């Protein structure tokens, strides 16, 4: 398959919204012992449940390292495809390709990946296998790709409405460890060329203490063009309160690429989720990797849900607000089934359900 030197915008391709029809979903198998407790054994069971839930609605492919291939194939149902792809860790949303489409064909955008900040504040080293993963997925899917050499981006740092609008955070895209050699205007220009955009809305910050430098997918998600979810808290003593208020003010002040005001559904956050002693002791301590320490607050949010054909897969976090989250999501997505998955093990690894998934858009054949 070809690595193209043009851009998606010049070729008439756009990034569709996640709520548009999918041809399938990719996930990477967890195993990294300095990120996942007990070598990923607990998280693997959760990933299986997420994969099974998605597979009810669309095809699922799980990418796995050689040494875990047999185990993953044994644990996953036969209707889920397992392929061997070398990887450093299991965040498909961030290191996998962003797919773009012209309605009859799809292509992949292969962003440069540096583990959420490289040598400045990245989360592990090396990350070379993850940086090569997007091209391999494009080869498996037999689609051409665009490589953004010199421009770093993770898929979880952006959300689009499919009609020319992108929402992101300054905390992430303007961080020193990503594209500090570029101005904000130059970053906007690159995003517009590679995703075919007309308007970028910049929130300032994401979820409090999010180790990804405030990925937008943990605090905001489009429901459809002109409508979105925003993580929310009414607890004025929580540092997250000010961030949520700030985000709402920005979104109420802005309009999208079509000139519409965005309708906001407030999705209440769980109470602060802290790492237990047992959980912290199950993670290997390795130099150069962010430690998991007892009492650390995790970036827990229900906004990190995943939209599939006909359903919403959302994280249940053992909190009283789990059921409220399901209710809010049903109100926002009345035509989709709402499925909750116990996602604490994914949260302990530093992300959530949206972070581990990447959709392939459906096209007209």
- DSSP H/E element including 84: strand 81-84
Active-site residue, 355 included:
yes
Order of strands across the sheet that contains 3-4: 3-4, 145-152, 106-112, 98-101
Q: What share of the chain is helix, strand, coil (3-state, %, to 5)?
A: 35, 25, 40
Report yes or no: 164 and 258 within 8 Å, Cβ to Cβ.
yes
Order of strands across the sheet that contains 220-224: 220-224, 227-232, 263-268
Question: Which spans in the chain are helix H?
Answer: 8-11, 41-55, 69-75, 92-95, 118-121, 128-141, 170-173, 176-179, 184-195, 239-253, 277-281, 322-332, 344-348
Q: How many CB atoms lie within 10 A of CB 318?
A: 11
CA distance 70 to 44: 13
Assigned token pair, 59 = 């095809």
CA distance 143 to 3: 9
Assigned token pair, 283 = 């993670």
Using alpha carbons, list the distances in angstroms from residue 193 to 49, 79, 80, 169, 229.
37, 37, 34, 19, 26
138, 172, 247, 355: which one is catalytic? 355
Beta bridge partners of 99: 108
CA distance 226 to 206: 20
- So which residues are the catalytic ones? 355
């Amino acid at each position: 398959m070809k690595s193209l030197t043009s851009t998606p915008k010049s070729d008439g391709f756009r990034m569709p919204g996640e709520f548009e029809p999918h041809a399938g979903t990719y996930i990477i198998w967890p195993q990294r012992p300095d990120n996942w407790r007990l070598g990923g054994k607990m998280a693997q069971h959760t990933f299986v449940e997420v994969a099974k839930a998605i597979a009810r609605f669309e095809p699922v492919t799980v990418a796995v390292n050689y040494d875990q291939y047999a185990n993953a194939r044994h644990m996953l149902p036969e209707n889920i495809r397992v392929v061997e792809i070398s990887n450093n860790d299991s965040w498909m949303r961030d290191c996998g390709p962003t797919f773009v489409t012209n309605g009859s064909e799809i292509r992949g955008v292969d962003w440069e990946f540096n583990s959420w900040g490289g040598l400045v504040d990245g989360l592990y080293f090396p990350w070379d296998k993850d940086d090569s993963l997007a091209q391999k997925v494009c080869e498996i899917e037999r689609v051409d790709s665009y490589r953004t050499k010199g421009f770093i981006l993770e898929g979880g740092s952006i959300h689009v409405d499919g009609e020319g609008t992108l929402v992101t955070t300054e905390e992430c895209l303007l961080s020193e460890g990503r594209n500090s050699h570029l101005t904000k205007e130059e970053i906007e220009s690159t995003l517009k060329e590679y995703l075919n955009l007309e308007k970028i809305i910049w929130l300032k910050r994401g979820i409090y203490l999010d180790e990804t430098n405030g990925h937008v997918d943990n605090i905001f998600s489009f429901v459809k063009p002109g409508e979105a979810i925003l993580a929310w808290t009414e607890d004025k003593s929580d540092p997250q309160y000010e961030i949520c208020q700030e985000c709402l003010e920005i979104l109420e002040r802005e309009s999208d690429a079509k000139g519409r005001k965005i309708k906001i559904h407030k999705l209440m956050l769980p109470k602060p989720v802290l790492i237990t002693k047992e959980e912290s002791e199950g993670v290997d301590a390795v130099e150069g990797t962010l430690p998991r320490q007892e009492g650390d607050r995790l970036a827990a949010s229900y906004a990190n849900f995943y939209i599939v054909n006909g359903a919403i897969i959302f994280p249940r976090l053992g909190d009283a607000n789990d059921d409220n989250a399901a209710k809010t999501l049903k109100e926002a997505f009345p035509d989709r089934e709402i499925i909750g998955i116990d996602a604490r093990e994914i949260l302990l690894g530093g992300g959530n359900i949206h972070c581990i998934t990447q959709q392939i858009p459906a096209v007209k054949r």
